Structure 1
Amino acid sequence: MLRHFYNFTLIPLAIGASPFWILKTKRRGGLSKRLWEKLGRYKEVGLAAERKVRPIYVHAASVGEANIARKLITRWSTRYPEERFLLGIGTSTGFDLARQSPPANTEVIYAPLDLSFVVTSFFAAFRPKLVVLIEHEVWPNMIHYARERSIPVALVNARLSLRSGKRLAKLRPLLGKMYQGLSWVGAQSDEDCPRLEAIGIRQESLVVSGSVKFDPALDTPSASDFNPSKLLESLGEGPILMALSTHPGEELLFAKAASQVRDARLVMIPRHMERRDEIQEELSAAGFKVVLRSTMNLVDGSSARGKILVVDTTGEMPAFTKEAQVVFVGKTLLSKGGQNPCEAISASVPVVAGPWFGNFEPLATQLRNCEGLWTIEDEKSLESALQTLSESEERASKQAKNALSTLEAHRGATDRTVEALAKLLEEE
C-alpha cells in the first residue's frame, strides 16, 4: 500500500518538476533524444537488443557517484573480463562524463526514473542479473521489481550520518521493508553499521567494505589522455593554485585570496560548468582577467598570461588536479557539505578547505586530526594557507603525506566490493 501511495504521488510530482528539470538540463547543454531513456525508451542502446547478454546494472546519481561506479566497474572488468556492464547516470553532466571514457565492456545510459511503468520497461529491455546502487540511490520501485524478478540488489559505499540515521530510523515502519530487500550492503565504516541496521537493513547482509571513493589503489580514469601542462604554462610560471568543485561566491573569494600569492597561476573548476558566464562576469567586475578553458586559444599563449583559468569542460579535473601545488575544495566555506578531496589527496597535493565538510565525515575529522587538511575560516586565513603551502615545500609535503596515510584505511575497498558482488552473483 505504501509503494502504491508513493507511485500515486510521484507521477504528478514528476510532471510538475519536469519544466524546471528540462530548463536546468538545457543550461548544462544536456538536451538530446537520449533523455527518452529516462522514460524507458532504449532504441539506441545496443545491450537492449542483445537478448542473450544479461548485464550487471550499476545505478549512479550524478558526477560523484558516476566516478565511484567507473572506478568499481574498471576493477571488476579487469578481474572478470567476461562480464558486461550497464551504467545508468541520473544527470546530463554525469552522463556526458561517463560517455567520454566508459570502462571496458560498459554501455552508458540515462538512469530510469523510479516510476513503475519505466522501471518495468527497463527490466524488460535489459534483464540485468544484478542491480548495484551507489551510496544513497535506494529507490522503492527499482528494489521491488528487481526482487520480484529474483534479481539481487546491492548497495555499495553505504554511509549514513548521525543526523540522517535518526531521521530515517523514525521512518522504519514505512521504509524498513524496502531496505530489507537489499541482498548485500557494503558500509564505509564500522560507525555506519548500527545506523544502517536501525533503518531496516538486515545484519546478515551488512559488511564493512571501506569506501571505493576513498580507495587510493585505483585512480578514477580521466576523460582522455589530455595533458593540461601547455595550457597552464600559458598562464605564467608561478605556483598553480586551484579551486575545485566551487559553488557560488567561492570563486571570487578564492581569487581575492590566491591573487595575493606572488606570481600565482589561478585555476578554478566549478561544480557546475553552466555557471561559466556568471563566474566570468563576477570575476571581471572585481577587476580580474578570465579565460575559459572551452575558448582558450593556444596559438597566442601570451593572451592567457596573468588570467584566471576557469575550466568549463567535463572530465578534465583529474588531469588538472595533478598539476596543482595547492587546492581549495569547494562547498566548504560559503556553502555546507563539502566536495570530494580525495583526487587531490591521491595526487599528493595538499588540500585547504572551510569548516563545512559534513558530507565527508568521518574522513574530514580524521584528516584534521592527523594534520592532513588545512581548515580555514575566511578569506584572510585562506590567503595565509595558500601562501604558506606554496612557499614551504616541506610543509606541503608533510600535509600531503599525512592525508594520504588516512586514505590507506580504505585501500582495497574496491577489490573487497568486487569480490563480494561476484560471490553474490554465484550464490544467486
Structure 2
Amino acid sequence: MHIGLITSEYPHSKVTHAAGIATSIKNLVVTLVKKNVGVTVFVYHQNESSVFVDEGVEIHLIKRKKYKAFTWFFYRKHIQNYVNKTVKTNKIDVLEAPDWTGITAFMRFKIPLVIRFHGSDAYFCKLDNRKQKFKNFVFEKWALLKADAYIAPTTFAGEETAKIFGLNRKKIKTIHYGLELSHFENEKPEVYQDKTLLYIGTIIRKKGVLELAEIFNKIIEAEPDAKLKLIGGDAPDIKTGSTSTYALMLSLFSEKAKNNVEYLGQIPYSEVKNQIKQAHVCTFPSFAETLGMVTIESMALQKPVVNTSIGWAKELIDDGVNGYLVHPSDTDLYSQKIIVLFKDKSLCLNIGKHARQKVETTFDINKQVLINLEFYSKLLS
C-alpha cells in the first residue's frame, strides 16, 4: 500500500511552518514507513518547490503561487494537477488531507480521499463562539462532502464536525493521534523544578491563555515562589485587534505574578521535551482543540496535567486518575488543583505514572498505525 498526505505543515527545516498537526502527521507517516508502507507527503504554500526524502518519507514541497484573479481556485487546481501526476508515478492508493480551509475543495482525484479532522475553521469558530467567514464555511463543506471517508482524532471532534457540516456519521472513524513512546522516556520523574507550571502552545485567546493569567495570579497568592513558563508563538487577538495576545496576558498578571513569568517563545522541539521534564505541572486550559498533542506528550513524560474539561479532553484524561479536568473559566477551582499538586509530591508522581500508562494503552503510535492501515484497507476493498 502507498499513502499520500496533503498538508500545509510538516516538521522539517525546509518547511515554512510546523505545529501540532505536523507532529501528528510525522508520527504517523514515519511509523507507516517502518511497517513497509509507501508514503508521499505533499506540503503546499511553501517558499520553493522541492522533492526530498526524510526518514524514508518522500516529501514534495509545492510552491505558493499567486494569480491575477481567483488564486483560491487556481492554486487548488495547481495542487490537484501536481498530486494527480505524482499519484500515477508513485502508484499511490489513498490520499489523505486536512479539513482546515477545505483545501481539497474543487480538486478531483481518481483514488479515494480521506479527510482527517485536524480542526476546521468552522469547528474552532463554533467552540470559540466566533462568526466564521461564509467563504471559508463553503470551502470546508464542499471539500468534506466530496471526500470518501473521514478520520477524527477524538469522538468529540468527529461528532461536532458532523453536526456542523451535516456529514454521514457512518463514514467517520475515530483514530487517536499517537506517539513513538521510545522518544518520550523520563527516567527520573521525581526530579523537576519545584512549583514550575508549564504551558505549551500558541499564545492565543482560544487556548485559554487569558484565563491562565488569572489562574496564575491566584496561584502566586498561595505559592509566592511558583513560576509560570510559556512556550509557543505569539498571535494577534481577533476580539480586541491587538497585534499581541501575550501583551494582553501581561496586562492581566498581577505585579507579583508578572515577576515570576518566563516567556520562552518558540524553541526547538527537542528542547520542549526537556522543559516538560523540568516542569512540576503542565497545564492546557484550552477552549478549542481536536485532541492536543502536547497533552499526551506531557502525560507520556509522566507529568501531572491540569487540562480543560471540554469534550475532547475527556478522551485523554480520566479526571483524578491520570490528570485533572477543569473548565478554564472556573479559575478558582483550576488554580486549586494546581496548588494541590504543588504541595503533594507523591500525588504528582502517582498521577504521572498513571498518565504514562494511559498513553501506552491509548496513544501508542505502533497500535494506532495498525488501526489506520485497517481503515485504509477497508476503503480500498
TM normalised by structure 2 equals 0.62
**Per-residue deviation at 1:207?**
5.5
Q: 1:347 to 1:59 in 2, by over 3 A?
A: same
**Per-residue deviation at 1:352?**
1.6
Secondary structure at 1:311 match in 2: strand
**Per-residue deviation at 1:117?**
0.9
Secondary structure at 2:337 match in 1: helix
Corresponding position of 2:15: none
**From 364, 368, 372, the counterpart of 2:319:** 368
- Equivalenced residues, count: 319
Q: Is 1:343 paired with 2:300?
A: no
**Per-residue deviation at 1:279?**
6.7
The residue type paired with residue 269 of structure 1 is: I
Q: Is 1:269 paired with 2:231?
A: yes
Give the fraction of aligned pairs with identical amino acids, expressed as a percent: 11
Corresponding position of 2:31: 75
Counterparts of 1:179-328 in structure 2, within 5 Å, are 179-188=144-153, 201=167, 206=171, 208-212=173-177, 215=178, 217-218=179-180, 238-245=194-201, 246-247=203-204, 248-250=209-211, 252-259=213-220, 260-261=222-223, 263-270=225-232, 272=234, 275=244, 278=247, 282=251, 286=255, 308-316=261-269, 317-328=272-283
**Per-residue deviation at 1:281?**
5.5
Corresponding position of 1:5: none
**From 98, 107, 115, the counterpart of 1:145:** 107
Q: 1:263 to 1:159 in 2, by over 3 A?
A: closer
Secondary structure at 1:74 match in 2: helix
The residue type paired with residue 323 of structure 1 is: Q
Cα deviations by residue, 1:209-249 (Å, 9 ceiling, x for unpaired): 4211xx3x425979xxxx9x9xxx9xx96343213335453
Secondary structure at 1:368 match in 2: coil
Q: Distance in 1 between matches of 2:251 and 2:55?
A: 38
Q: Distance in 2 between matches of 1:164 and 1:287?
A: 35
Q: Which runs of 5+ in 1 are unaligned?
A: 1-53, 93-101, 166-172, 291-306
**Per-residue deviation at 1:394?**
2.4
Q: 1:159 to 1:289 in 2, by over 3 A?
A: closer
Counterparts of 1:66-215 in structure 2, within 5 Å, are 66-80=22-36, 82-88=38-44, 104-107=56-59, 109=61, 115-126=72-83, 127-129=85-87, 130-134=94-98, 136-137=99-100, 139=102, 142-147=104-109, 150-157=110-117, 179-188=144-153, 201=167, 206=171, 208-212=173-177, 215=178
Corresponding position of 2:19: 63
The two structures, once aligned, show a CA RMSD in angstroms of 5.0
The residue type paired with residue 100 of structure 2 is: E
Q: Distance in 1 between matches of 2:251 and 2:74?
A: 45
The residue type paired with residue 311 of structure 1 is: L
The residue type paired with residue 272 of structure 1 is: D
**Per-residue deviation at 1:83?**
3.3
Q: 1:111 to 1:288 in 2, by over 3 A?
A: farther
Cα deviations by residue, 1:342-361 (Å, 9 ceiling, x for unpaired): 22222221112455x35x25
**Per-residue deviation at 1:251?**
5.3
Q: Distance in 2 between matches of 1:313 and 1:71?
A: 20
Give yes or no for contact 2:322–2:354 (8 Å, CA) kept in 1: yes
Q: 1:311 to 1:193 in 2, by over 3 A?
A: closer
Q: Distance in 2 between matches of 1:255 and 1:193?
A: 33
TM normalised by structure 1 equals 0.57
Q: Distance in 1 between matches of 2:342 and 2:60?
A: 40
Q: Is 1:388 paired with 2:340?
A: yes
Corresponding position of 1:45: none
Q: 1:82 to 1:220 in 2, by over 3 A?
A: same
Q: 1:415 to 1:262 in 2, by over 3 A?
A: farther
Give yes or no for contact 2:307–2:323 (8 Å, CA) kept in 1: no
Q: Distance in 2 between matches of 1:264 and 1:285?
A: 13
Give yes or no for contact 1:185–1:207 (8 Å, CA) kept in 2: yes
Q: Distance in 1 between matches of 2:107 and 2:214?
A: 48
Of residues 402-411 and 319-328 in structure 1, the stretch that sits farther from structure 2 once superposed is 402-411
Secondary structure at 2:278 match in 1: coil
Secondary structure at 1:118 match in 2: helix
